[in-house]
Amino acid sequence: MSRKTLAIALFASLALNLFLVGAVAGGLVVGHRVRGGEHSAGLRAPPPVWRAGEVLSEDQAQAYRAALRGEGRAAREAMRAARTARLDAWRSLEAQPFDPQAAKARLAEIRGQEADARGQIENRIVDFAAGLSPADRAALAKGLTAQRREDRGPPRRDDPPGPGRSGRDAGP
Protein backbone atom coordinates (compact mmCIF):
# COMPACT_ATOMS: atom_id res chain seq x y z
CA MET A 1 0.00 0.00 0.00
CA SER A 2 1.43 3.36 -0.94
CA ARG A 3 1.99 6.10 1.57
CA LYS A 4 -0.68 8.32 -0.09
CA THR A 5 -3.32 5.54 -0.02
CA LEU A 6 -2.52 4.82 3.62
CA ALA A 7 -2.91 8.51 4.54
CA ILE A 8 -6.28 8.69 2.75
CA ALA A 9 -7.48 5.50 4.47
CA LEU A 10 -6.40 6.77 7.89
CA PHE A 11 -8.09 10.14 7.31
CA ALA A 12 -11.32 8.42 6.16
CA SER A 13 -11.20 6.12 9.21
CA LEU A 14 -10.69 9.10 11.53
CA ALA A 15 -13.60 10.98 9.95
CA LEU A 16 -15.89 7.94 10.23
CA ASN A 17 -14.92 7.36 13.87
CA LEU A 18 -15.55 11.01 14.76
CA PHE A 19 -18.94 10.83 13.06
CA LEU A 20 -19.87 7.68 14.98
CA VAL A 21 -18.72 9.11 18.32
CA GLY A 22 -20.78 12.25 17.67
CA ALA A 23 -23.85 10.22 16.72
CA VAL A 24 -23.60 8.07 19.85
CA ALA A 25 -23.06 11.10 22.10
CA GLY A 26 -25.98 12.92 20.49
CA GLY A 27 -28.21 9.88 20.90
CA LEU A 28 -27.31 9.62 24.57
CA VAL A 29 -28.05 13.30 25.20
CA VAL A 30 -31.40 13.19 23.39
CA GLY A 31 -32.35 9.92 25.06
CA HIS A 32 -31.50 11.34 28.47
CA ARG A 33 -33.66 14.42 27.87
CA VAL A 34 -36.66 12.40 26.73
CA ARG A 35 -36.41 9.94 29.63
CA GLY A 36 -35.80 12.77 32.06
CA GLY A 37 -39.12 14.39 31.21
CA GLU A 38 -37.68 17.30 29.25
CA HIS A 39 -39.57 18.04 26.08
CA SER A 40 -37.70 18.63 22.89
CA ALA A 41 -38.89 21.24 20.41
CA GLY A 42 -41.24 18.79 18.70
CA LEU A 43 -42.72 17.26 21.86
CA ARG A 44 -45.07 19.57 23.70
CA ALA A 45 -46.91 18.67 26.85
CA PRO A 46 -50.69 18.78 26.50
CA PRO A 47 -52.35 21.95 27.80
CA PRO A 48 -53.52 21.93 31.45
CA VAL A 49 -57.21 22.00 30.44
CA TRP A 50 -56.65 18.85 28.40
CA ARG A 51 -54.71 17.10 31.19
CA ALA A 52 -57.46 17.86 33.71
CA GLY A 53 -59.48 14.99 32.24
CA GLU A 54 -56.80 12.52 33.31
CA VAL A 55 -58.39 12.40 36.79
CA LEU A 56 -61.65 10.97 35.37
CA SER A 57 -62.51 7.36 34.54
CA GLU A 58 -61.42 6.24 31.07
CA ASP A 59 -64.93 6.58 29.58
CA GLN A 60 -65.44 10.01 31.11
CA ALA A 61 -61.95 11.11 30.08
CA GLN A 62 -62.71 10.10 26.47
CA ALA A 63 -65.99 12.03 26.56
CA TYR A 64 -64.21 15.03 28.08
CA ARG A 65 -61.54 14.99 25.37
CA ALA A 66 -64.19 14.62 22.66
CA ALA A 67 -66.05 17.65 24.04
CA LEU A 68 -62.86 19.69 24.10
CA ARG A 69 -61.90 18.55 20.60
CA GLY A 70 -65.20 19.75 19.16
CA GLU A 71 -64.97 23.15 20.81
CA GLY A 72 -61.22 23.32 20.39
CA ARG A 73 -61.32 23.37 16.60
CA ALA A 74 -63.47 26.48 16.51
CA ALA A 75 -61.47 28.13 19.29
CA ARG A 76 -58.19 27.30 17.56
CA GLU A 77 -59.39 28.97 14.36
CA ALA A 78 -60.57 32.02 16.31
CA MET A 79 -57.24 32.28 18.13
CA ARG A 80 -55.34 31.91 14.85
CA ALA A 81 -57.43 34.72 13.33
CA ALA A 82 -56.80 36.85 16.42
CA ARG A 83 -53.03 36.30 16.14
CA THR A 84 -53.11 37.37 12.50
CA ALA A 85 -55.20 40.42 13.38
CA ARG A 86 -52.81 41.30 16.21
CA LEU A 87 -49.86 41.21 13.79
CA ASP A 88 -51.76 43.57 11.50
CA ALA A 89 -52.49 45.85 14.46
CA TRP A 90 -48.79 45.92 15.40
CA ARG A 91 -47.93 46.69 11.78
CA SER A 92 -50.25 49.69 11.97
CA LEU A 93 -47.74 51.29 14.36
CA GLU A 94 -45.62 52.22 11.36
CA ALA A 95 -48.51 53.84 9.46
CA GLN A 96 -48.34 57.52 8.61
CA PRO A 97 -50.26 59.22 10.06
CA PHE A 98 -50.33 57.00 13.13
CA ASP A 99 -53.66 56.73 14.96
CA PRO A 100 -53.01 55.47 18.52
CA GLN A 101 -56.71 55.32 19.37
CA ALA A 102 -57.46 53.12 16.36
CA ALA A 103 -54.58 50.77 17.28
CA LYS A 104 -55.80 50.55 20.89
CA ALA A 105 -59.37 49.92 19.74
CA ARG A 106 -58.24 47.16 17.36
CA LEU A 107 -56.14 45.48 20.07
CA ALA A 108 -59.08 45.67 22.50
CA GLU A 109 -61.31 44.06 19.88
CA ILE A 110 -58.76 41.27 19.40
CA ARG A 111 -58.58 40.68 23.17
CA GLY A 112 -62.36 40.34 23.14
CA GLN A 113 -62.17 37.75 20.35
CA GLU A 114 -59.61 35.75 22.32
CA ALA A 115 -61.72 35.96 25.48
CA ASP A 116 -64.76 34.74 23.53
CA ALA A 117 -62.79 31.77 22.20
CA ARG A 118 -61.56 30.86 25.69
CA GLY A 119 -65.05 31.38 27.05
CA GLN A 120 -66.48 28.85 24.58
CA ILE A 121 -64.05 26.22 25.83
CA GLU A 122 -64.74 27.07 29.47
CA ASN A 123 -68.51 26.92 28.88
CA ARG A 124 -68.11 23.50 27.25
CA ILE A 125 -66.18 22.27 30.29
CA VAL A 126 -68.92 23.54 32.61
CA ASP A 127 -71.60 21.87 30.44
CA PHE A 128 -69.63 18.62 30.58
CA ALA A 129 -69.22 18.92 34.37
CA ALA A 130 -72.98 19.37 34.77
CA GLY A 131 -73.42 15.72 33.74
CA LEU A 132 -70.91 14.38 36.28
CA SER A 133 -71.49 13.13 39.79
CA PRO A 134 -70.47 15.50 42.62
CA ALA A 135 -67.36 13.39 43.31
CA ASP A 136 -66.34 13.42 39.64
CA ARG A 137 -66.99 17.18 39.42
CA ALA A 138 -64.74 17.65 42.44
CA ALA A 139 -62.03 15.53 40.80
CA LEU A 140 -62.33 17.52 37.56
CA ALA A 141 -62.16 20.80 39.50
CA LYS A 142 -59.03 19.55 41.23
CA GLY A 143 -57.52 18.62 37.86
CA LEU A 144 -58.39 22.04 36.42
CA THR A 145 -56.92 23.96 39.34
CA ALA A 146 -53.80 21.85 39.93
CA GLN A 147 -50.61 23.53 38.83
CA ARG A 148 -48.14 21.11 37.41
CA ARG A 149 -44.45 21.73 38.13
CA GLU A 150 -43.65 22.18 34.43
CA ASP A 151 -46.36 24.87 34.22
CA ARG A 152 -44.97 26.85 37.14
CA GLY A 153 -41.27 26.65 36.45
CA PRO A 154 -38.71 26.19 39.18
CA PRO A 155 -39.80 27.08 42.71
CA ARG A 156 -39.04 30.62 43.76
CA ARG A 157 -37.38 31.37 47.05
CA ASP A 158 -40.54 33.08 48.33
CA ASP A 159 -42.92 30.21 47.40
CA PRO A 160 -44.72 28.83 50.45
CA PRO A 161 -44.18 25.14 51.13
CA GLY A 162 -46.56 22.99 49.13
CA PRO A 163 -47.30 19.30 48.90
CA GLY A 164 -44.08 17.35 48.84
CA ARG A 165 -41.99 20.38 49.83
CA SER A 166 -40.63 20.94 53.29
CA GLY A 167 -40.44 24.36 54.87
CA ARG A 168 -36.68 24.29 54.30
CA ASP A 169 -37.23 24.44 50.51
CA ALA A 170 -39.42 27.52 50.74
CA GLY A 171 -36.58 29.95 51.41
CA PRO A 172 -36.12 32.50 54.18
Is residue 169 situated within a structural domain? Answer: no
Domain boundary among 45, 65, 81: 45
Range of the domain at 18: 1-45
Q: What is the mean pLDDT of residues 82-109?
A: 91
Residue-wise pLDDT for 22-42, tens only, equals 888 888 777 766 655 544 455
pTM: 0.55
Cβ-based neighbour number of residue 125 at 10 Å: 19
82 lies in the same domain as 131 = yes
Residue-wise pLDDT for 100-148, tens only, equals 999 999 999 999 999 998 898 889 999 999 999 999 899 888 888 876 5
Total domains present in the chain: 2
32 lies in the same domain as 65 = no
Residues 6+ apart with CB under 8 A from 124: 67, 68, 70, 71
Residue with the bigger pLDDT between 84 and 168: it is: 84
71 lies in the same domain as 106 = yes
Residues 6+ apart with CB under 8 A from 9: 1
Residues 6+ apart with CB under 8 A from 30: 40
82 lies in the same domain as 128 = yes
